[in-house]
Structures are given as structure tokens and as C-alpha cells.
């Protein structure tokens, strides 16, 4: 007689599962605050949205480039961040700074230019070539001077005083016109202590120190590191104000994001 087969019963499952750790409202709030603090720190020192509005730095920087800017390295040294490498601005640095003279509406605009002269330097241009402390500089990033684009004021600076451009460029400050003759020695412009001489790489389309003078050390914000996004943008786009123009531009960006983004410039290092 065959033995009766008994049905095997599966092992008993635990009646209860281990308790899961639930995050308290206070812990959730603390986590959110931590993220906000980190985000604010990055925004304050690295992540501000600096957009190139004009062609004064072409071909180095293009209209529509969005930059991540290092605001720590060139900042005044502080004891509470001893591991940070601080240094003074140097020749050929590309920097973000506050324009030393206000615009017509009284605001001090952010600009991006290249440092040509630091305190104590002696500068003059001959046929568009920068002569720094008696030595002609090789600056392949700069727009070359040709017979077609040559300008006596821009390319033979400081042979012609800025007051000669005041009628053509209303942004030439009177203080610069008055100060200018006292800064010339043997045909060279001498950079005073605590001041910097800036020029755009697009030398014939750049309103820079030749027009409005030196940039004080305290006006320097930081140096661009790289493009995080670059979009084809009309050079006069930043002049379009009002809600209607802003909404129209947002719609344009949404429709043309893929085709107008300069993908080859994404994460492009600024030099």
C-alpha cells in the first residue's frame, strides 16, 4: 500500500516586516535647507548666469555664450577659506567686471574684456599692435588691424586723446578726458596703482578702456571658466526690453533650442 503523500507547507513568513525608518518633518526640512545652502553657495561664487550681449570679444566669446564664472580666485583673500588659491589679476586674463562709469540710466553694467595692462605698465599701440613696457605683444586672439579697419584713435592709442571721440561716443566720461593727459609719459599710457587697462579682442568693435578709462581693482567680479550653453543670438537682443519682447524671445528659444544651440561650444573653456 502506497504511503499517503503529505502536502509540504512553505515556511512561515514573518508576521511583520522590519520597521522602515521614516523621515521626520524636521529632518526633511533640514535636508531641504542643506540643498538650498549649497545651491546658494554655488550661485554666489560660481553659477551666476553671465551672458555675452555684444561682439566686443569675438572670436573668443560670442553673443549668446552663457558663462560659468569663478568669483573666488580673484576675490580678496580671506582667512576663513585658507585652502582657496587666491591671486591678483594678471595680463591676458579675461575677466568679468563692473563698468567704471554708469550707463545713461545710472546702472553699472557687467562687462567682459581682457586685461592688457596691470598697475605700473606702460602701454601704447602702433598700427594696432600693443607695445607693453617697450615690447610688442603677440596677441593671436585679437582682431588684426588692416588698411580697411585702421582707426587712428583705436590703433595708435594714446596718440589721440579720448576727447576726440566724445562726440561719437557719448559714454566717454569727462573725468577720463581730464585725467588722460596727466597719465601720458613719453607717448605711453601709465597704468596707476590699483587700476587695470582693458580691451576687447574684437579691437575695432569694443568700447573699452580706450574710451572710458581704467577699471579699479574692486570692480573686478571674477574670470569666466567655460561656456555651459551657447545660443545664436542677435547682437541687439539685450536692447529689447519689455514683457512682450521677453516673451517673444522665450518663445523663439523654445522653438529653436536644438537648431540654434552652438553644441560645439558646450563646456568650451574660455582662454
CA distances from 30 to 27, 37, 39, 158, 245 (A): 5, 10, 14, 59, 40
pLDDT in the model for residue 80? 60
Local confidence pLDDT in tens for the 271 residues of the chain? 444 444 555 555 555 455 555 667 666 665 665 555 444 455 555 556 688 989 999 999 999 999 999 988 888 776 666 666 789 999 999 999 999 998 877 888 899 999 999 999 999 999 999 999 999 999 999 999 999 999 999 999 999 988 877 766 767 888 899 999 999 999 999 999 999 999 999 999 999 999 999 999 999 999 999 999 999 999 888 778 889 888 898 899 999 999 999 999 999 999 9
pLDDT in the model for residue 233? 93
What is the rounded CA–CA span in Å between residue 174 and residue 168? 14
Question: Order of strands across the sheet with 50-51?
Answer: 50-51, 65-70, 220-230, 94-98, 110-117, 195-199, 215-216
- What is the secondary structure of 48-107 as a DSSP string? --EE--SSTTTTTS-TTEEEEEE-STTSPP-TT-TTS------TT-EEEEE-SS--TTS-
What is the rounded CA–CA span in Å between residue 85 and residue 10? 66
Judged by DSSP in three states, 237 sits in helix
pLDDT in the model for residue 108? 87
Cβ atoms 204, 143 nearer than 8 A: yes
pTM of the model: 0.80
Domains located in the chain, CATH noted: 50-265 (2.10.109.10)
pLDDT in the model for residue 2? 47
What is the rounded CA–CA span in Å between residue 125 and residue 171? 22
pLDDT in the model for residue 135? 97
Q: Output b/e per residue, 224-258; b: 16+ Cβ within 10 A.
A: bebbebbbebebebeeeeeeeeeeeeeeeeeeeee
What φ, ψ does residue 100 adopt, rounded to 5°?
-70, -10
Amino acid at each position: 500500500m502506497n504511503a499517503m503523500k503529505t502536502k509540504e507547507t512553505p515556511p512561515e513568513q514573518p508576521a511583520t516586516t522590519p520597521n522602515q525608518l521614516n523621515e521626520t518633518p524636521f529632518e526633511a526640512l533640514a535636508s531641504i535647507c542643506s540643498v538650498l545652502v549649497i545651491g546658494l553657495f554655488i550661485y554666489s561664487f560660481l553659477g551666476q548666469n553671465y551672458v555675452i550681449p555684444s561682439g566686443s570679444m569675438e572670436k573668443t566669446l560670442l553673443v549668446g555664450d552663457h558663462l560659468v564664472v569663478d568669483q573666488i580666485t580673484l576675490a580678496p583673500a580671506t582667512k576663513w577659506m585658507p585652502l582657496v588659491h587666491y591671486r591678483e589679476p594678471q595680463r591676458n586674463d579675461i575677466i568679468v567686471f563692473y563698468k567704471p562709469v554708469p550707463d545713461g540710466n545710472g546702472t553699472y553694467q557687467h562687462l567682459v574684456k581682457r586685461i592688457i595692462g596691470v598697475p605700473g605698465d606702460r602701454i601704447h599701440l602702433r598700427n594696432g599692435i600693443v607695445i607693453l613696457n617697450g615690447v610688442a605683444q603677440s596677441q593671436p586672439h585679437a582682431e588684426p588691424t588692416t588698411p580697411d579697419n585702421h582707426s587712428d584713435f583705436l590703433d595708435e592709442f594714446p596718440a589721440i586723446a579720448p576727447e576726440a571721440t566724445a562726440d561719437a561716443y557719448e559714454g566717454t566720461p569727462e573725468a577720463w578726458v581730464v585725467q588722460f593727459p596727466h597719465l601720458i609719459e613719453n607717448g605711453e599710457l601709465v597704468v596707476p596703482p590699483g587700476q587695470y587697462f582693458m580691451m576687447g579682442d574684437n579691437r575695432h568693435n569694443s568700447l573699452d578702456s580706450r574710451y572710458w578709462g581704467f577699471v579699479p581693482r574692486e570692480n573686478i567680479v571674477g574670470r569666466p571658466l567655460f561656456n555651459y550653453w551657447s545660443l545664436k543670438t542677435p547682437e541687439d537682443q539685450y536692447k529689447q526690453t519689455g514683457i512682450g519682447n521677453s516673451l517673444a524671445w522665450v518663445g523663439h528659444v523654445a522653438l529653436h533650442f536644438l537648431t540654434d544651440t552652438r553644441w560645439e561650444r558646450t563646456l568650451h573653456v574660455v582662454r
